[in-house]
Amino acid sequence: MKAWVWEGVDRLRLADDWPDPVAKDGWVVVKVVSAGVCSTDVAIIRGRFAAGSSPAVLGHEICGRIASAGRGVTTVKEGDRVVVETSVGCGKCVQCRTGNKHLCREAGEIGFPPFAGGYAQYVAVPESCCRIVPDALSDDQSGIIEASVCPFGAVYRNPPKLGATVLVQGAGVAGLSFIQAVKAYSAGKVICSARNRSRLANAKRFGADVVVNVKEEDLAERVLEETGGIGVDYSIDAAGAPATIENAVRLCAPGGYVRLYGIPSEGSAIAFPAKDMILRQITVAGGTNNELAWAPLLGLVAAGRFNNADMVTHRFAFDGLAEAIDLVDRNPDGLIKAVVHPWE
């Protein structure tokens, strides 16, 4: 089969003779029809993020059809269209049994070595990682659903109260997903901050009530103005910068909730406002994955209550993956999500 093989820093090769995967017991082989291009993959390829050894096939945003099934598979069958929930756990520990298999001590992830990913015509995955796609979703919508399920899953785990004021820092894919997630839970006013006018326009388009360009306005002043001097009830950092992490706590109202999602760069010095947390009784929690969120999110997208169709802004044939990687690395205005099609 054809597959893009990561062979080391800035080394990506299109192979036309990569071994076909085999469906072992409890696993299936998926014929990949659309694969989202994630900035994490770019960071791995560029050498900015350590993720196992090469050579390997990356890609963890996957939609496809079941091509074959191993022994014991009962929940999906050949021809079913599925998205791939990428966390792979032992299936036996308390984390795996409580919807937290990404926290399993033996956890791995499809698309991260040693597990092959979706930048190939076929990929093998556990049956438990397959979610059947509603007919209302296109292949490309399904291919990028993983990019939204992590932010949505963080909110699903601890949603805001009805009518809560919410601050979302960052207006990339995660920020746009957080905006729609809290709106789905009937949040009140949603404020989004970023440093780019184009991305703030996207934030408005995807549901933010107020946008703040932090290059032109003082975020603290604007948040206090929008909240009657109290701060927000629910504060989300989707940027991962030291300043945004600190702001997430400082701009939260007494008794409020902070969700940290953006991952800071290695070695970042963060002046974490512990005193504010203690004296104002603020709850701070980190969050990434949530396997229990896949079905609700797919349902919201199918019902038209979560717009990820408009997130797909760039499409590439399979031989254009290297070009797509460069595009995502540059992250120009107009880009939200890029996808590649392994059979084109």
Is the same domain home to 39 and 53?
yes
Each residue's pLDDT tens digit, 61-82: 999 999 999 999 999 999 999 9
Q: Length of the chain, please? A: 344
* Lowest mean per-residue pLDDT among 13-17, 105-109, 205-209, 328-332: 105-109
- Tell me, yes or no, whether 299 lies in a domain: no
| pLDDT of 34 above 80 | yes
Query: Both 201 and 279 in a single domain?
Result: yes
The answer on pLDDT for 273 being more than 90 is no
Q: Is residue 297 part of a domain?
A: no
Asked if residue 201 and residue 88 are part of one domain, the reply reads no
- Model confidence at 136: pLDDT above 80: yes
**216: CATH:** 3.40.50.720
Strand, helix or coil for residue 310: helix
Q: Residue 269 pLDDT more than 90?
A: no
In degrees, to the nearest 5, what angle opens at C-alpha 274 toward C-alphas 273 and 280? 95
Claim to verify: residue 29 and residue 97 sit in the same structural domain: yes
End-to-end CA distance of the chain: 13
Structural domain includes residue 30: yes
**Residue 284, phi then psi, degrees to nearest 5:** -120, 130
- Reported as a pLDDT band with limits 50, 70 and 90, residue 276 is confident
| CATH (domain of 133) | 3.90.180.10
Confidence at residue 150, expressed as pLDDT on a 0 to 100 scale: 92
Residue 78 lies in a domain: yes
Q: Map residue 33 onto helix, strand or coil.
A: strand
Can you give the pLDDT at residue 48? 86
Q: Which range of residues forms the domain containing residue 328?
A: 3-144+308-341
188 CB neighbour count, 10 Å cutoff: 17
In a domain, 187, yes or no: yes
Confidence grade of residue 265 (pLDDT, cut at 50, 70, 90): confident
Residue 112 and residue 181 in one domain: no
pLDDT at 28 over 80: yes
Residue 59 and residue 82 in one domain: yes
Element (H, E) at 221: helix 219-226
Whole-structure pTM value: 0.95
pLDDT band at 188 (very low <50, low <70, confident <90, very high): very high
Query: Average pLDDT, whole number, for the chain?
Result: 94
Domain assignment present for residue 115? The answer is yes
CA proximity to 157, closest of 53, 20, 275, 297: 297
Would 82 be classed as within a structural domain?
yes
200 and 83: one domain? no
Shared domain for 130 and 221, answered yes or no, is: no
SS3 232: strand
Kindly state whether residues 140 and 154 are assigned to the same domain: no
Is the preceding peptide bond at 55 cis, omega within 30 degrees of 0?
yes
Strand partners, 132: 82
Mean pLDDT of the 250-271 span: 88
Domain annotation covers residue 294: no
pLDDT of residue 288: 81
- How is the beta sheet containing 210-213 ordered, strand by strand? 210-213, 190-194, 166-169, 232-237, 252-260, 283-286
- Give pLDDT, residue 287: 84
CA 37 to chain centre: 11
Q: Is the pLDDT assigned to residue 267 strictly greater than 80? A: no
- Over residues 161-181, the mean pLDDT reads 97
In the chain, the number of structural domains is 2
pLDDT at 19 exceeding the cut of 80: yes
Q: What is the pLDDT of residue 49?
A: 83
Q: Are residues 175 and 201 in the same domain?
A: yes
Q: Are residues 262 and 157 in the same domain?
A: yes
Give the max Cα distance, the chain.
63
Q: Are residues 199 and 124 in the same domain?
A: no
